[in-house]
């Protein structure tokens, strides 16, 4: 069976008054004024040629969309006055935390963070594992990637992006702070898998997340945490530690997927099941 899908738009969004809207980003909100960064100011004033009195929209990264009027059209420090606020702008009906080992080619990991932000993710933790080839991560550059993706996809909330975090530190955080949601780990080692419980297919994992949300009846958003390892996979010790911490082994199908593909697949599955 052959299936052909034709998308007529480079960027797709459900038809709304926001579909063609330009959104700026700033978390500098004080006294009813929003101050844009030098980069956002230049884009607003030099590129789009906005002038004093123009109406502009700003995402505060806090889940709100601010409708503003431009008060100071300075290409290095533009200032806008807030007219109204739309809460819950571009949000999603779930809590999704992705802990993913950055790839040796950082462009691939940044591609994942961009696409995850576009679909809907709440927290991204770059994970340092025993078999990781990449042992450094530029968090500042990564933040720019997800802010740009949040603006492009009309997200009112920018995901939390952590610095590079060791696998052990993540387990310690989960032990001390806990996580109220489903926890899954995807890995490749079939020998290790043979000694553990049967892996849950991704469809089953997402169904469990959806069921959790239905059971909460709107009182709390369903949550999920996915662990995706490096090209060299998780070590046997890391897999054992995750299992002890209550993670469920996850199957992503018969194909051998790259790290960023596996991570994006998990985000897409949750987004599709709960948003589309």
Provide the residue ranges of all domains of the chain, joining segments of one domain with +.
23-86, 95-275
Q: Which fold has domain 95-275?
A: Alpha/beta knot (3.40.1280)
Strands (E), 121-197: 123-128, 160-161, 165-166, 182-186
Q: Which fold has domain 23-86?
A: Ribosomal Protein L25; Chain P (2.40.240)
Pairing of the two strands 23-25 and 248-251: unpaired
- DSSP H/E element including 51: none
- The answer on pLDDT for 37 being more than 70 is yes
Query: For residue range 85-138, what is the model confidence (pLDDT) as tens digits?
Result: 999 888 899 999 999 999 999 999 999 999 999 999 999 999 999 999 999 999
- What is the pLDDT, as a whole number, of residue 215? 73
Query: For residue range 150-180, what is the model confidence (pLDDT) as tens digits?
Result: 999 999 899 999 999 999 999 999 999 888 8
Query: For residue range 48-72, what is the model confidence (pLDDT) as tens digits?
Result: 999 999 999 999 988 899 999 999 9
- What is the pLDDT, as a whole number, of residue 25? 94
Higher pLDDT, 213 or 240: 240
Higher pLDDT, 129 or 17: 129
C-alpha torsion sign, points 98, 102, 108, 109: positive
- The answer on pLDDT for 219 being more than 90 is no
Strands (E), the chain: 23-25, 29-30, 33-35, 55-59, 65-72, 79-86, 95-100, 123-128, 160-161, 165-166, 182-186, 200-201, 223-228, 248-251
- The answer on pLDDT for 17 being more than 90 is no
- What is the pLDDT, as a whole number, of residue 198? 77
Q: Mean pLDDT of all residues in the chain?
A: 90
- What is the pLDDT, as a whole number, of residue 197? 53
- pTM recorded for the entire structure: 0.88
- What is the pLDDT, as a whole number, of residue 75? 94
């Amino acid at each position: 069976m052959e299936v052909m899908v034709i998308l007529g738009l480079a960027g797709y969004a459900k038809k709304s008054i926001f579909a063609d809207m330009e959104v700026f980003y700033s978390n500098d909100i004080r006294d009813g004024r929003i101050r844009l960064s030098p980069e956002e100011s230049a884009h607003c004033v030099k590129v789009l040629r906005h002038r004093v009195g123009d109406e502009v929209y700003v995402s505060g990264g806090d889940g709100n969309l601010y409708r503003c009027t431009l008060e100071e059209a300075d290409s290095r420090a533009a200032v806008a006055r807030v007219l109204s606020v739309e809460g819950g702008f571009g949000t999603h009906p779930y809590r999704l935390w992705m802990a993913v080992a950055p790839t040796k080619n950082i462009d691939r990991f940044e591609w994942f963070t961009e696409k995850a932000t576009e679909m809907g993710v709440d927290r991204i933790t770059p994970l340092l594992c025993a078999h990781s080839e990449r042992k450094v991560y530029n968090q500042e550059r990564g933040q720019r990637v997800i802010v740009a993706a949040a603006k492009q996809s009309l997200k009112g909330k920018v995901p939390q992006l952590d610095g590079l975090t060791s696998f052990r530190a993540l387990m310690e955080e989960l032990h001390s702070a806990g996580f109220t949601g489903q926890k899954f780990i995807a890995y490749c080692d079939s020998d290790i898998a043979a000694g553990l419980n049967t892996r849950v297919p991704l469809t089953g994992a997402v169904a469990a997340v959806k069921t959790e949300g239905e059971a909460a009846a709107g009182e709390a958003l369903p949550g999920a945490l996915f662990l995706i390892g490096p090209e060299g996979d998780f070590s046997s010790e890391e897999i054992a530690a995750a299992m002890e911490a209550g993670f469920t082994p996850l199957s992503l199908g018969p194909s051998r997927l790259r790290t960023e593909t596996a991570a994006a697949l998990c985000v897409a599955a949750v987004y599709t099941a709960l948003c589309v």
